[in-house]
Structure 1
Amino acid sequence: MAKATKKQALGRGLSALLKDPENDINSADDKNADKVVGNIIELDLDLIEVNPFQPRSHFNEEALVELSTSIKELGVIQPITVRKLEFNKYQLVSGERRFRASKLLGLETIPAYIRIANDQESLEMALVENIQRQDLDPIEIALSYQRLIDEIQLTQEKMSERVGKKRSTITNYLRLLKLDPIIQTGIRDGFVSMGHGRALINVEKKSDQIDLYEKIVANNLSVRETEKAVKEHQEGGKSAKPTAKKTTKSPDFVKEGSAKIEKHLATKVAVTATEKGKGKITISFTSAEDFDRLKKLITGA
């Protein structure tokens, strides 16, 4: 405990050094820069601004509350990283969840590593550190990789070295951005996995991707079942003839009836029936909210 207290006191001493306008540190060559850069400093939260390059676009409020409770009990175990902009002004490079949770808790200071970097270096640090340490969803990771390519001009080979990932892994993430935006949203919201997305990438037409995506969600298909559905779609005419022999023609009442059901429920409905009138109805829904809507329409409650 004495060791931790000593470290905290040192951080506060360095913080006081940064507040001295006569010793303002703006580069690694400035006086006392070696005492500040790379060291842990107790930094006022009010002096820190959020990084505009942050790839994470959504912060779960419940998770932030849980993190703030942990910080209240144990403190901020892993310091955030900031870069110095000007005198008494800093910008987050990584650690926004810890920053937000500390503000939520009402803390005045937070332990921080000080970095001196230009905008491009800051962007690269933010993207690389978030890819490595944060629980970004697959689409956010893909977008981060794409920004490293577009804005830092990193090749996939160089990126592989920076983030410690195989080039093939990076390629697999980047390919997700070829999916229709609706499917990308489905991956971000957890309706389908990255494995489902990788299977759907092999479908060229976006409209066909959406049709298969709706089938996956409606029938809760596994990744393997999705791969099989994609293969059957790609084979197209090859599997159409043998399938037609096995298919029993539905009674006339099914076509008219299913159209009315679809109109009433405002969703896709699949109806299969034998000539004797025996069959089943499959109703598609796209979310928990959509399921609740359909339940109320069907049950009236």
Structure 2
Amino acid sequence: MSTPKRPAMGRGLSALLQTNTATTGQDAGAKEVVSGIFEVAIGDIEANPKQPRVHFEPELLQELAASISALGIVQPITVRRLRPCKYQIISGELRFRAAQLAGLDVVPVYVRLANDQEMLEMALVENIQRRDLDAIEVAISYSRLMDECSMTQQQVSERVGKERSTVANYVGLLKLSPLIQAGLRDREISMGHARALVGLSDDVTRDALYTQCVKGAWSVRQLEAAVRGLSSPKTAPATTAPHPAAAMLAQKTGLAAKVVQKANGSGTITLTFKSDAELQAALKKLS
């Protein structure tokens, strides 16, 4: 199931930013900037002074920094180009701060230009139609159409010619931890494996199951079975104390009666007779 890791996103394209000076959607070369993923030096990126989030949990930053050190940045940061070699964060400041903490010199970014909304939409739609994208790249593109182009899932599905459920399934992958997203990106697991893991709500459990899946080279069905085993509610034990209804049934029928009722309300009634005569007598009492 394991495959060689691919090069980091944006590597090899960043030289384009050195020669392309477009800062608005109308400038020459704007499409090449908007449609690409680039690596930009951390020192060339500044925080957004209008960022509504002003507090970042130190523990969360440390965890993300450790993840970035091991896996890299799975989802690029979105920045606005202010001028050549100067960018401002639009979204992804938590990832940016964690990258600084991890000691990265460069980070992968999406570049936005002024007045580029229509161009961005076209670029994202074109990108989704490509055959060589992995599931996370598709998921991120769908998410960007919704977040940056103010589209609903239904509008995205109509724009790209896919079922709304397909869009929802891909976007749901972004709820997975960076470990699993990286595994999907690097084709350690398939889309089917990832969708099975989305069914679990706890990241620790999902990551542990993902690790077992990769080590054991599980099929999708094997992983689905493991998820069902963790998700299925445990059967409530039957009560052992005599049920009040047993005495009533014994009085009515003249037979030994046993009532077993589970916590969910279901159960069984057992009437015991020692001879046909006892059975006929009980039936006569009930008639």
TM-score by length of 2: 0.45
Which has the bigger relative contact order, CA under 8 A and spacing at least 6?
A: 2
TM-score by length of 1: 0.43
Q: Give the structure with higher Rg (CA).
A: 2
